Structure 1
Amino acid sequence: MKNLRGQEIFTLVYRLFLVFFFYQMARLLFWVFNKDLIKVEGLSEYFKLSYYGTAFDTTAILYVNAVFILLSIIPITINTKKSYQKFLFYWYFITNGITYSFNFGDIIYYRFSQARLTSAAIEVGKNENNLGRIFWNALLQHPFVFIWFVIIIFVWIFLYKKVKVQEEKPKQLVSYFISSIVILCITATLVVGGIRGDFKHSTRPINLVDANKHVSNPLQGNLVLNSVFSFFRTLNTNNFKLVHFVDEKFIDKEIQPYKLYNREVEPKPNVVIFIMESFGKEYSGAFNKQNNIKDFVSYTPFLDSLANQSLIFTNAFANGRQSIHGMSSVLAGIPSLTDAFTSSPYSNQKIQSIVSVCNDLGYDTSFYHGAPNGSMGFQGFGNILGFKHYFGKTEYNNDNDFDGIWAIWDEPFFQYFAKNLGKKQPFMSTLFSASSHDPFKVPEKYQNKFKSGPLQIHVPIQYTDYALKKFFETASKQPWYQNTIFVITADHTNQTYYPEYQKAMNRFAIPLLFFSPNPKYNLKGVDDRFAQQMDIYPTLVDLLGYNKKIRSWGRSLVSDQNENYMIVNSDSIQEQLIIGNYIYIFNGKDMTGIYDKTDLGLLKNLIKNNLNAEQKLGIEKTKAWYQDYMDRVINRKLR
């Protein structure tokens, strides 16, 4: 009995090992054929990258072989029969052979696409009627790629047949089935963990951007990845399609995708950006004075006090729904629509951002997040943006301050942040907080320090606000403090209590604050104009005196230029834009709703009424913006 199950498990492990081995062979060939496009500093760096690629190989291999694994260990008494093993052989090589060929197709395709194969290729193929000719032409031009594929498949089959399952019937059926159920449960757990990328609660399943957390150059992320992973991970996530509604002249005039600000600034200020986890506008008193909400309670006393010395925007919105969306919106001015840019097939490209601008100006750039390195995809996307340094739980190096689920508690991590800044100046640094997150806990020593509220999040919001206060107490004593611009905003909203924040558009309402102890930047006052995360990047570009054109769908909030504005976000089903006096709801093809800008609950759809001139222009602007967004993302024009 033990030998029967043992030989089946051993043979299964051996067969999966072969898949891993040949995936690494495909990676090596991919690099050999494309090493002029993907620079690697010697074999040691290559082996490091291939090692990190194992996690992505695991996900791909388990996607393809999940059924094979089940069929190999399912408790049926014919498992070891020759006919059944022959069936497994064909299943194994048909499924693995087809998907494995993706890697070889990419050896050729990469030279044209500069990216790994994704599901976007399906959409491209739909528009082509000469795919057969393209395929055969590629084979004729690159015969060695096909030859290598054939050789590897033959070797793979040879090695597969070296280890066989000997035919044997189970003698004790009860014991056989019990042991089989235990093995199935263990295997299922391992498969789920392998597909996700790890077993940590604090990390989402690995995605394409995660490949970049291991590389020194974003292009090397394509070497860490494999084509099977990139294809399957982007299935059903690509609503990115080129559209044509207006001509380019209309886009240039009405959308103004490029901005130029002229401001002389010397010396260049340091920049510190706080992206606060779940810090919805609802929780802060300074941002709600105009709302006249009955019995309103603020849970951010320090942020409220800092707002009195700052330039604040009381009608600001997030451009996405998740943390990684906030990162792309705040730092690069790229919102997330129905499908998130950061998990799309197009995320791995060169992107102009406040990071690249600061790098261009000679700044020292860094990103801080107290979670395990790679959590939320921040490290990978940070490498794409070009941060010179990343500081996470690993660099903090003290698990005594770990909250046990997500990250280092905010208070000690904020102190680490304050004391670690300024070693080189000027600097631009971003901190993404972590503690104001489900399951909404605070350190044990603060259990009774903060007032409770009707929502679970109210106590951790106060804790993070307190951590922010302690940060500024420490930072104000540092030599770099006086010449620093601070930006504080949220990644997205969270739990809501007041009916005002249960309105559709207010589900994106966040605080936005600019502060500097240096009076020359004149960052004071209350501004009730519509603003958004995407405006942070051009505003900082303006304040830094970067007198070159930038690609931006946002606007500088401190410029005296009369810029058009569009507030953009998505409910994950349709896109939502505020333009002028109206809110426009767009599904990528048609306008489905028009609402007055004061109708944040989207209660009265005006689209059936006779449209006025402003509404008609707003529809054209919505379509023009969407067209420009798709064009720049798909055709890799985000630089």
Structure 2
Amino acid sequence: MKELRLQEVLALVYRLFLAFFFYQIARLLFWFFNKDLIKVDSVSDYFGLAFHGVAFDMTAIFYVNALFILLSLLPLVINTKPYYQKFLFWVYFIMNGIAYGMNFGDFVYYKFSQARLTTAAMHVAQHENNLGKVFFTSVIEHPFVILWYIVLMMFWVFLYKKVTVTEFNPVKKWVYFVGSVVTLCITATLVVGGIRGDFKHSTRPINLVDANKFVKNPLQANIVLNSVFSFFRTIDTNNFEEVHFVDQKFIDENIHPYKLYKREEVSPKPNIVIFILESFAKEYSGAFNRNTGIKDFVSYTPFFDSLASKSLIAINAFANGRQSIHGMSSVLAGIPSLTDAFTGSPYANQKIQSIVSVTNELGYDTSFFHGAPNGSMGFLGFGNILGFQHYYGKNEYNNDKDFDGMWGIWDEPFFQYFAKNLNSKKSPFMATMFSVSSHHPFKVPEQYKGKFKKGPLEIHEPIGYTDYSLKKFFETAEKMPWYSNTIFVFVADHTNQVAYPEYEKAMNRYAVPILFYSPNPKYNLHGEITEPAQQMDIYPTLADLIGYNNPIRSWGRSLVSEDKNYLIVNSDSIQEQFMIGNYIYRFDGKNVTGIYDIGDKNLEKNLVGKVGGPEIERGILLCKAWYQDYMYRVINRKLQ
């Protein structure tokens, strides 16, 4: 019987079982660290999610351990030798140790990314040269995560060593080899089935979308998943695929991919200054929370609130993506991030109509400012695609005494640099400032420690600092000749840490402020927009305000027009989400899988199969039509 290698097979099963066991511990810890963001009603509900997570763990574990499994079963005769078993030990723990650590990274960064780890993180990381600093800062700030990892890995090693393989030299070698080949064939079949996620005949392996089959609300899918699965499943993925749900006439009449806003020619053309504020979520500003009913609400943005009182503000606005580069494409070009981000896709490098191209066409000087090292976040590359004439980063600032040591130049001095640089330009100009300081690790300059409210979240203090930097910018800018004929826009790139339960809700994790201000009264920028709005609306709004009387390619709408029909779109990296009329729809690329009342921002009561009628039927068609038009334009390079 020893020739059939039963003890080795049983040892292999035991070692793989340990991986399943420790992945469940990681799942529990992931939920524990993020339980304020992912609500689970009961212990039995959690165990249900954990049970369904086994299929996703199986895929991840078989991916990671494929080499170990092969080496464990190869008919090498020496398999049971102590030195070979030691070699297997190191293969096992090097591979599993790295993979297991990916789950622990999500304990912390899920709060910021709002999604499990995917290869999209690599698209962002490839533009950064400070990853070592970020990693060590995170280790210092979250020692318990590292401690948990070390303790669990030590415990894993301890349990692994409890089962050993005794040395054996096969006598009947033909039995040994034949048995090994049969075992390898059976195991290979099981591993392939495990990597696919089931052992049934299926047209495709399980993917991130399948996690939603087992949840009460979409956020719980992140408990079902694990970081290794989500990372591997998004390697070389391309969810960009043309679909055909409706005819072009329906798209033209209902999606309106091209819009024309007729306005008397504006002369002189106004300057445009766009602030895309890092992590400057709606939750932090009092002006955008007057009607939310949050008890004992505290604002961390006194200047921003005062500016909002004399501006046009969208108090029910949403981001179209999850990362900074997504904010750039959404705000400037009206292109959202879906399950796969456009900016990280093979289709990003194409001619794109945007507020940059429109203002270039009208003779504007166009520039982009970001205080980080040039190229950080992918902004320089995408800025070149959009057609910015000038880029100003840390290199151009050329004074490292104002460097924060992590991301870039502190906001206050870089905003002053921004104002003075604009003063050297000939009007009209269009300039975009992407701020830096309200970013992890959430620090403020030494001289300002204790000046700003700290609040319950780490981010509150640097939000106060960025708000103060805006105040100082305006004190400088309002003395300059270009100021009086300038339209200012303020928007967050995405949200960040959450303090209030209202903003823990799934859709409100995208809630951002949008503010339009001009000291020139002729633009009539005051009041509140209560209908849902989005980052994608900024580009058509500005094109309208400056009197660009030509068609623009836009999935957003001008917020200063009579158009009140909104279609808000974003993605949680698993499925697309649409807000249309009285409902929120979740769409997997083929079918609407969830329908929720517009007031159900936490997506708790799925109404699929429970509601119907013309509005629902039309909403489903609009989701499909919008998605069809998006895929057609992106893939066929029709974004002009």
Normalising by structure 2, report the TM-score.
Answer: 0.64
Match of 1:260 in 2: 260
Paired with 1:275 and 1:300, the residues of 2 have a C-alpha distance of: 15
Residue aligned with 2:530, SS: strand
**Aligned positions of 1:219-618 closer than 5 A:** 235-263=235-263, 264-422=265-423, 423-560=425-562, 562=563, 564-618=565-619
- Counterpart-to-counterpart distance in 2, 1:487 and 1:233: 38
Distance in 2 between residues matched to 1:490 and 1:197, nearest whole Å: 21
Name the structure 2 match of 1:201.
131
Aligned-pair Cα RMSD in Å: 2.1
Shift of residue 201, structure 1, vs aligned partner: 2.5
Q: Deviations over 1:545-590 (max 9, x none)?
A: 0000000000000012x35320000000000000111100001011
Give, in whole Å, the separation in 2 of the partners of 1:531 and 1:430.
20
Partners of 2:489 and 2:516 within 8 A in 1:
yes
> Relative to structure 1, is the Cα distance of residues 621 and 351 closer, same or farther in structure 2, using a 3 angstrom cutoff?
same
CA distance in 2, matches of 1:575, 1:234: 16
| Residue 237 (structure 1) shift | 3.6
Map 1:96-111 → 2, pairs under 5 A: none
Q: Distance in 2 between matches of 1:280 and 1:198?
A: 23
Structure 2 equivalent of residue 83 of structure 1: none
Q: Which amino acid counterpart does residue 389 of structure 1 have in structure 2?
A: H
Alignment partners' CA distance in 1, 2:303 and 2:637: 42
Percent identity reads: 73
Q: Do the aligned residues in 1 keep the contact of 2:127 with 2:376 (CA within 8 Å)?
A: no
- Cα distance between partner residues in 2 of 1:476 and 1:627: 45
Aligned mates of 2:473, 2:238 — CA distance in 1: 41
Secondary structure (helix, strand or coil) at the match of 1:273 reads strand
Q: d(CA) in 1 for partners of 2:593 and 2:576?
A: 10
Structure 2 match to 1:111: none
SS across alignment from 2:418: helix
Do the aligned partners of 1:279 and 1:492 also contact (CA within 8 Å) in 2? yes
Counterpart AA for 1:362: G
Structure 1 pair 513/548, CA: closer, same or farther in 2 (3 Å)?
Answer: same
| 2:525 counterpart SS class | coil
Alpha-carbon offset, residue 626 of structure 1:
0.2
Q: Tell me how far 1:265 sits from its aligned partner.
A: 1.1
Deviations 1:139-188 (A, max 9, x none): xxxxxxxxxxxxxxxxxxxxxxxxxxxxxxxxxxxxxxxxxxxxxxxxxx
Distance 1:390 1:233 in 2: 35
Alpha-carbon deviation of 1:396?
0.3
Q: Partner of 1:529: helix, strand, or coil?
A: coil
Q: Does the CA contact (< 8 Å) of 1:331 and 1:353 recur in 2?
A: yes
Tell me the SS of whatever aligns to 1:291: coil
Residue 421 of structure 1 aligns to a residue whose secondary structure is helix
1:233 Cα shift? 14
Q: Which amino acid aligns with 1:549?
A: P
1:141 is matched with none
Taking a change above 3 Å as real, the CA distance of residues 199 and 534 of structure 1, as seen in their structure-2 partners, is: closer
Q: Is the 8 A contact 2:531 2:564 kept in 1?
A: no
Per-residue CA shift, 1:280-336, capped at 9, x if unaligned? 000000000001100100000000000001000100000000000000000000000
Q: Which runs of 5+ in 2 are unaligned?
A: 1-121, 135-231
- Contact preservation (8 Å) 2:127, 2:377: no
Encode CA deviations 1:234-271: one digit per residue, 9 max, x unaligned.
Answer: 95241111101000000001100000011121110000
User: Partners of 1:590 and 1:578 in 2: how far apart?
Assistant: 16
Q: Is the CA contact (8 Å cut-off) linking 1:254 and 1:564 kept in structure 2?
A: no
C-alpha displacement of 1:531: 0.4
1:351 is paired with a residue whose SS is coil
Q: TM-score normalised to the size of structure 1?
A: 0.64
| Alpha-carbon spacing, 1:272–1:203, altered in 2? closer, same or farther (3 Å) | farther
Contact 1:514 1:523 in 2 (8 A): yes
Separation (CA, whole Å) in 1 of partners of 2:404 and 2:273: 25
- Matched residues in 1 for 2:268 and 2:498: separation? 43
Instruction: Kindly indicate whether the alpha-carbon contact (under 8 Å) linking 2:130 and 2:407 is maintained by their aligned counterparts in 1.
Output: no
Letter in 1 for 2:252: D
Residue 549 of structure 2 is aligned to residue 619 of structure 1: no
C-alpha displacement at 1:202, in angstroms? 8.7
Distance 1:203 1:276 in 2: 22
Q: Structure 1: how far apart are the matches of 2:133 and 2:351?
A: 25
Q: Which runs of 5+ in 1 are unaligned?
A: 1-191, 205-231
Shift of 1:597: 0.8
C-alpha distance in 2 between matches for 1:292 and 1:565 = 24
Letter in 2 for 1:385: L
Q: Distance in 2 between matches of 1:337 and 1:583?
A: 16
Aligned CA distance change for structure 1 residues 234 and 391 (closer, same or farther; 3 Å): farther
Name the amino acid aligned to 1:240: F
CA contact (8 A) 1:202 1:371 kept: no
| Count of aligned pairs between the two proteins | 421
SS at match of 2:608: coil
Aligned ranges 1:77-116 → 2 under 5 Å: none
- Write out aligned runs for 1:25-174 (5 A): none
Note if contact 2:279-2:439 (Cα within 8 Å) is conserved in structure 1.
yes
Q: Which residue of 2 aligns with 1:132?
A: none
Cα distance in 1 between the residues matched to 2:244 and 2:580? 20
| d(CA) in 1 for partners of 2:535, 2:325 | 13
Paired residue secondary structure (1:471)? helix
SS of residue paired to 2:131: coil
CA contact (8 A) 2:281 2:511 kept: yes
**Structure 1 runs of 4+ with >3 Å offset:** 195-199, 232-235
Give the 3 Å change call, closer, same or farther, for CA 202–294 of structure 1 in structure 2: farther
- In the alignment, the residues of structure 1 paired with residue 558 and residue 507 of structure 2 have an alpha-carbon distance, to the nearest angstrom, of 22
* Cα distance between partner residues in 1 of 2:604 and 2:270: 45
Give the match's secondary structure for 1:487: strand
Q: Confirm or deny: 8 A CA contact 1:259 1:551 kept in the other structure.
A: yes
The one-letter code sitting in structure 2 at the alignment partner of 1:435 is S
1:424 & 1:237 partners in 2: Cα distance?
45
**2:293 partner amino acid:** N
CA distance in 2, matches of 1:397, 1:626: 44
Q: Secondary structure at the match of 2:537?
A: helix
Q: CA deviation at 1:605?
A: 1.0
Amino acid at match of 2:576: E
In the alignment, the residues of structure 1 paired with residue 514 and residue 446 of structure 2 have an alpha-carbon distance, to the nearest angstrom, of 30
> In the aligned structure 2, how far is the partner of 1:425 from the partner of 1:291?
40
> Offset at 1:203?
11
